[in-house]
Amino acid sequence: MAVKILAETLLSIEHITKSFGDNTVLDDLSLAVHKGEVIVVVGPSGCGKSTLLRCINALEPIQAGEIRLDGEIIEPNSKNITELRQKVGMVFQSYDLFPHLSVLDNILLAPCKVQKRAKAEVTAEAMTLLERVGLKDKAKSFPRELSGGQKQRVAIVRALCMHPEMLLFDEVTAALDPEMVREVLDVILQLAAQGRTMLIVTHEMQFARAIADRVIFLDGGKILEDAPPEEFFTNPKTDRARQFLHIFEFEAVKHHEPQEL
């Protein structure tokens, strides 16, 4: 991947702490995300990856520190939290589509109701985006009629129609069958090529290596490594990261053993 010239900082996370009772999930964590940058967050289960995304979108309050988007503090009680959330599109593992609405109506709901945009304008944009992800013919379908990969692509289009400055992806392929994973990853690769700012939590290591400008390795609520993908995957600095990557390499080999003819 070509090295990007870093633009101004879009997201600034300064010394945040997030706890659930006595369990500290994020521990004095700091991170800066620049416009147009793709950062992939990896780490073992329970290390705080998804919690980090939820804190960025103010779905979870933090106990200490500060999160700023475009210089504005993000916190659940901010007067302008609705406007700030619109700048951060989040795509969840579970799709979160409304089952009683068609694909098109799922996409139109927030831009028309929250942003008060004209239905005709949003419809035209939604159909263009659905065509781009290969789902134009599914506009009138309901979520129950879609595959997991199709639902996830609809969720991505729904987020894009809000014109976010940044996209958060939380393990968006984790609930998919292996053959559906590629179609979702291809869409995210297209977004990266367009210069979208993205923070991606994933367990797909090859995908992380291909798409990331930086890889963040999180463990125990702390950032143990922050490096370009080639550096992280070929020469991790910590024993913990080496152990983590060794497990994934073992799993990859195990699942790609030659089949008997």
72-98: average pLDDT: 86
Strand partners, 90: 168
Torsion of Cα atoms, 61 then 39 then 167 then 17, to 10°? 0
What pLDDT, on a 0 to 100 scale, did the predictor assign at position 1?
53
Of all residues in the chain, the percent with pLDDT exceeding 70 is 92
Domain boundaries, the chain: 9-254
Domain 9-254 belongs to what topology? Rossmann fold (3.40.50)
**Calpha distance 135→106 (Å, rounded):** 14
What pLDDT, on a 0 to 100 scale, did the predictor assign at position 178?
82
Question: pTM for the complete prediction?
Answer: 0.89
Please say if the pLDDT value at position 257 is more than 50. no
What pLDDT, on a 0 to 100 scale, did the predictor assign at position 251?
53
Q: What are the tens digits of pLDDT across the range 104-136?
A: 999 999 999 999 999 999 999 999 999 999 999
Please say if the pLDDT value at position 256 is more than 90. no
What pLDDT, on a 0 to 100 scale, did the predictor assign at position 261?
31
153 confidence band (pLDDT: 50, 70, 90):
very high
Q: What are the tens digits of pLDDT across the range 164-208?
A: 999 999 998 887 888 888 888 999 999 999 999 999 999 999 999
Q: What are the tens digits of pLDDT across the range 65-83?
A: 999 999 899 888 877 888 8
Please say if the pLDDT value at position 253 is more than 50. no
Q: What are the tens digits of pLDDT across the range 1-36?
A: 555 555 689 999 999 999 999 999 999 999 999 999
Considering only residues 255 and 44, tell me which one the structure prediction assigns the higher pLDDT: 44
